[in-house]
Amino acid sequence: MSDEVEKNDRGDLFSKAVRAGKRTYFFDVKSTKGSEYYLTITESKKRFGPDGKFFYEKHKIFLYKEDFEKFADGFAEAIEYIKEYSPVIENHHSDGENSSASTSSSSDVSFEDLGN
């Protein structure tokens, strides 16, 4: 690769898409007119309008080089908090089996009980 970084048509120097369920995250490295790099993080979700046609709802943040370390520290701290303190939720697979060995008492509820 030469000393000059090649940009694509949108001015991105690097782009990485991460598909995560119903969302896609885009990590795009861009350059200012002064040749300083920054990062945009975009969350994109497919939505349906009242007319039934779909559109993509996007949320974007811009992260500048001077903020990388503080952002990364805050992000890591938040992830660690979630890992340590979030409640355990049973995952249901498409094959109908729970991935958790524990059973929930809510499975003992009968539909007839809901009317009372």
Of 64-78, 80-94, 98-112, which gets the smallest average pLDDT? Answer: 98-112
Q: How confident is the model at residue 12 (pLDDT cuts 50, 70, 90)?
A: confident
What does the pLDDT look like over 34-50, one tens digit per residue? Answer: 889 999 999 999 999 99
What does the pLDDT look like over 70-88, one tens digit per residue? Answer: 999 999 999 999 999 999 8
State how far the Cα of 11 lies from the Cα of 25, in Å rounded to an integer: 18
Say which CATH topology domain 12-89 has. Nuclear Transport Factor 2; Chain: A, (3.10.450)
CA 4 to chain CA centroid, Å, is 32
* pTM, rounded to two decimals: 0.62
Domain ranges across the chain: 12-89
Strand partners, 24: 19, 44
Listed residue (32, 38, 31, 35) closest to 61, CA to CA: 38
Q: How confident is the model at residue 90 (pLDDT cuts 50, 70, 90)?
A: confident
